[in-house]
Amino acid sequence: MSKHTDIVKLLDIPKIVIPYLNLIYTEDQLDLTAAIKNKLLSKEEIQTILGKPVEALLDNAYKAAVVDKVIDEKIIKYKITSLANRLDKMATFEADKWHSIKSEDRTKIADWLFNDFLEAKRNSSLEKIAENGNKILPLNEAIDYLNTVENDIYVMPCDCKAITGNCSFDKNVCMSMGSGLNSSSDRGHGKKLTKEEAVELLKHADKEGLIHSVEKGAICNCCSCCCYPLRASKELGLQGKWPLVTYVAVMDKDKCINCGICTKRCQLQVFEKIDGVIHMDDSKCVGCGLCVNTCPKKALHLEKL
């Protein structure tokens, strides 16, 4: 028990998570965490502390995001991953474990994870937050961006949807480019896609009604109810600045037949049907183009901001 108490303090584990410690970590992973603590250790150093071979343990712990790898003077060393990162990867790639947590507790843990993300952004400058180049693009420009990618492309489950679970949108729609150290693909997750398969996935996501959010090394296909950046942007008053919005939808009222398709496609309540007439609040628009793509009378188009 004292070992677990030390780990609770080391990882700053909130009360709601403590009952699930042995679900989130195996006993071997708890031993590994207790051995590394807040240090940066090589495989040999960890092996000396635990007194047994650790190669398989480290491989499994790396895949599960219990540990991260660091190159230190050309030697791979290990450090403990944050609890938030471990829970994120568990929800995304170990769904059975995540859903074995009681529903009400899972909701509380999901809220804790989002607030942890939110506070990190709140304590950063906009310049720092926007370093990854996150911006919302319509389908055609998202495809153009994809076609410039030279690294391997992997499809991953959306971690925001996996954790939050507020909708029935397809989860398996987010793309990661490359397989750098501590990336999900380097940990052994995801399915490698051809460029053609990746384009088709983007088109599928667009048809589903998901917003294309592009950043360095990734394309996410987002819903406003689960997506961390979209939710955090609203909370922090950064709409339009992060993720960066570069377009706005414009309506030609003479062409509009008030069919209401745009009200169903838009996730941000830009459109509202009142007394049979479509009204538009473009201040809410993020220029994703979902409404434009399905307007039967071409009454909508995007204009560059």
CB 185 within 8 A of CB 199: no
Q: Which of 97, 118, 139 is the last residue of a domain?
A: 118
Q: Residue 78's domain spans which residues? A: 2-118
Same-domain pairing of 152 and 84: no
Nearest-Å Rg of the Cα atoms of the chain is: 22
Q: What share of the chain is helix, strand, coil (3-state, %, to 5)?
A: 45, 20, 35
Q: Where are the beta strands (DSSP E) in the chain?
A: 41-42, 67-72, 75-80, 135-136, 153-156, 174-177, 191-193, 211-215, 218-222, 244-245, 247-251, 271-274, 277-280, 300-304
The pLDDT score that the predictor gives to residue 253 is 95
- Whether pLDDT at 172 is above 80: yes
Q: What is the CATH number of the domain that holds 287?
A: 3.30.70.20
Cα–Cα distance, 275 to 263 (Å, whole number): 14
Arithmetic mean of pLDDT, 225-233: 96
CB 37 within 8 A of CB 80: yes
Cα–Cα distance, 211 to 12 (Å, whole number): 34
In terms of Cβ atoms closer than 10 Å to its own Cβ (0-12, 13-18, 19+), residue 113 is buried
Strand 135-136 and strand 244-245: the pairing is parallel
Q: Tell me 199's DSSP state.
A: H
Arithmetic mean of pLDDT, 164-186: 95
Same-domain pairing of 232 and 264: no
Same-domain pairing of 250 and 240: no
- Whether pLDDT at 10 is above 90: no
pLDDT in tens, 142-156: 999 999 999 999 999
Q: How confident is the model at residue 165 (pLDDT cuts 50, 70, 90)?
A: very high
- Whether pLDDT at 2 is above 70: no
Identify the residue whose tokens are 């979209």. 230
**CB-based contacts of 136, cutoff 8 Å, min separation 6:** 211, 212, 213, 214, 243, 244, 245, 246, 286, 287, 288
Arithmetic mean of pLDDT, 163-188: 95
Structure tokens at 103: 């529903």
The pLDDT score that the predictor gives to residue 60 is 98
Arithmetic mean of pLDDT, 111-122: 97
Compute CA 27 distance to the chain's CA centroid, rounded to the nearest angstrom.
Answer: 28
Q: Which of 211, 244, 277 is the last residue of a domain?
A: 244
Number of compact structural domains in the chain: 3
Q: Which of 201, 221, 244 is the last residue of a domain?
A: 244
The pLDDT score that the predictor gives to residue 1 is 47
Arithmetic mean of pLDDT, 170-174: 96
Q: What is the CATH number of the domain that holds 23?
A: 1.10.10
pLDDT in tens, 67-101: 999 999 899 999 999 999 999 999 999 999 999 99
Cα–Cα distance, 63 to 86 (Å, whole number): 10
Same-domain pairing of 27 and 99: yes
CB neighbour burial string for 220-249, b if at least 16 within 10 angstroms, e if fewer:
bbbbbebbbbbbbbeebebbbebbbbbbbb
Same-domain pairing of 151 and 231: yes
Q: How far is CA 297 from CA 96, 152, 255, 271, in A?
A: 45, 39, 6, 16
pTM of the predicted model as reported, rounded to 2 decimal places = 0.93
Average model confidence (pLDDT) across the chain: 95
The pLDDT score that the predictor gives to residue 88 is 98
Omega before 296 within 30 of 0, i.e. cis? no
Same-domain pairing of 223 and 250: no
Same-domain pairing of 259 and 282: yes
Same-domain pairing of 188 and 92: no
- Whether pLDDT at 115 is above 70: yes
- Whether pLDDT at 4 is above 80: no
Same-domain pairing of 99 and 187: no
Same-domain pairing of 295 and 213: no
Same-domain pairing of 37 and 134: no
Cα–Cα distance, 250 to 293 (Å, whole number): 13
Same-domain pairing of 128 and 240: yes
pLDDT in tens, 120-142: 999 999 999 999 999 999 999 99
